[in-house]
Every structure is written in C-alpha cells, then in structure tokens.
Amino acid sequence: MHYISSGQGSAVILIHGLFGDLDNLKGLGKSLEGRHRVVRVDVPNHGLSPHWQKMDYPLLAQAVITLMDSLQLAHAHILGHSMGGKIAMATALSYPDRVTSLIAADIAPVSYQQRHDQVFSGLEGIDLSGLKSRSEALKQLLAAGLDEGTAQFLLKNLSRTDQGFNWKMNLAGLKSSYRDLIAWYNDIEAEDFLQYSKPTLFIRGGDSDYITSEHRQAIMSQFPQVQAKTIEGTGHWLHAQKPAIFNRIVSDFITKHEGK
C-alpha cells in the first residue's frame, strides 16, 4: 500500500474511508506527529495504492500487516474512519498482538444496506474521454443528484494528465467489491468468531446513523474493552466537521493506552 510517514515515537496508522485517500486524515496526522510516528495509507483501489479486483476485510487486514512488516513496526495503534474503521477492526480482530489499541470513527462491525448507488451512478456517468475540465465534472455529478460537498470530495480522485482525465481510484474494482465492503465477516454466532480484547474506542457523530443502539451488542461482543464517545453536531464526517475535538479525543485515548 502507498503511504506517507511522519513524526517519531510509537506508531499510529490512519486509514481513510471509501472513495477517499490518505489526505482525508492529514489534519489528525499533523496533530499526532509531534509525539508519534504517523503512517497515513492509501487503501488498495484508492489514491496511489495498487488496484485490486477483489477487496474484502481479511485481505485488507493482511495488507495492513504486510505494510507494518515492511516498515518494521512490531505493533501500532490503528484508527480508521468508515470503511477504514472496518479495516482497522479487521486488523485488530485477526492480528491482536500487532495492534496496541483500536479507534473506529463512525462505523460499526456490522453489515450495512447499500447507500452508494447514486455515487457509483454519478461517477460512471462521467465520460472521461470527453471531459474538458474539473468544473464540467462537478456539474455532471450535481446533475446526477449528488450534493456539492460529496461531489467535491469525489472529485479529489480526478487526476489530469497530458492525455486528459482519469480516476486515481479503481472504480470498477470498488464496484465489484462493494458488497464485501458494506458487509461484515465476523459472525458472532460462528465457532471461529474473533474478539479483540485490548483498548478500543468508537467515536460517533451525533447526527450520524452509522452507529445506533441496535449495534451495541455487535460492538461489545467483538470488542469487550470498548469505550464510546459522541461528538454532538457532527455527521459521518465528524473528523472534518469538528477536528479540534476529534483530534483531542484520539490523542488522549492513545496517550492513555500507550504500551498497554
């Protein structure tokens, strides 16, 4: 996986969500790098990372461990937002000895309903070969029914070359893997059910519906050492909406559980 590393100290790995890249958590990284070695990653099929035709959480967890091995990191604190939170959870569940503590931002270890059909439709509706400008792409996404904030976020994936425009992300690979990305593989009824019993923090947006009371049992069953924080007045993009509060919560949690 492509990554950017900064700072020194105990390692913290930051993992972005669907359609994002390593810049999504750049502000958090800057707030942590004074005391930690911060590793921000591009998830496969995103940013500058390799393109995969199949993505699922066991494979993505293995990719995190492979990166840690290449960086000679025996263990790390791992934080992920949305899909990245599921990758962080999967890494902690499958490789608990490598994960010092876990932070999941506005996502639960459960299967979700499809909620990105409009996004895929809007992105696929853009004819890159005939695209003249980024503003033209924005107009097309807005015409497809996407709000401007979502459209601007998605257009961070648009790259201009001498030949024209292309997507940095692997749109086809993301679409073919989408069912696995909204699903969850760790069945609490199964004999090979996994648990992570080290310090865990779930941070949710007060206005978000990604973590609800219905998810409480699934969270506590898989992460018995869990704590939870809610940031009021934020939605799913809580780290961008109230960064100072979010960054402080993360820093305090990591400092409290350093080396445990």
- 236 as an active site residue: the answer is yes
pLDDT the model gives residue 163:
79
- The answer to pTM > 0.85 is yes
The first and second tokens of residue 123, run together, are 């992105």
The first and second tokens of residue 189, run together, are 């009824």
For residue 139, give the amino acid letter.
K
What string of pLDDT tens digits covers the 260 residues of the chain? 999 999 999 999 999 999 999 999 999 999 999 999 999 999 999 999 999 999 999 999 999 999 999 999 999 999 999 999 999 999 999 999 999 999 999 999 999 998 898 899 999 999 888 888 889 999 999 998 888 888 999 999 999 887 789 999 999 999 999 999 999 999 888 888 999 999 999 999 999 999 999 999 999 999 999 999 999 999 999 999 999 999 999 999 999 998 65
Count CA within 13 A, CB hemisphere, residue 16: 27
Which of 16, 46, 77, 236 is an active site residue?
A: 236
Strand, coil or helix: what is 243? helix
pLDDT the model gives residue 260:
54
For residue 57, give the amino acid letter.
Y
pLDDT the model gives residue 189:
83
Which of 31, 49, 82, 101 is an active site residue?
A: 82
Smallest CA-to-CA distance from 198 within 29, 115, 78 is with: 78
- For the domain 3-112+183-256, what is the CATH code? 3.40.50.1820
pLDDT the model gives residue 259:
65
Question: CA 26, 252, 64: angle at the middle one, nearest 5?
Answer: 50
- 5 as an active site residue: the answer is no
CB 38 within 8 A of CB 14: yes
pLDDT the model gives residue 203:
97
CB 68 within 8 A of CB 77: no
Residue spans in the chain of domains classed CATH 3.40.50.1820 = 3-112+183-256
The first and second tokens of residue 3, run together, are 């990554």
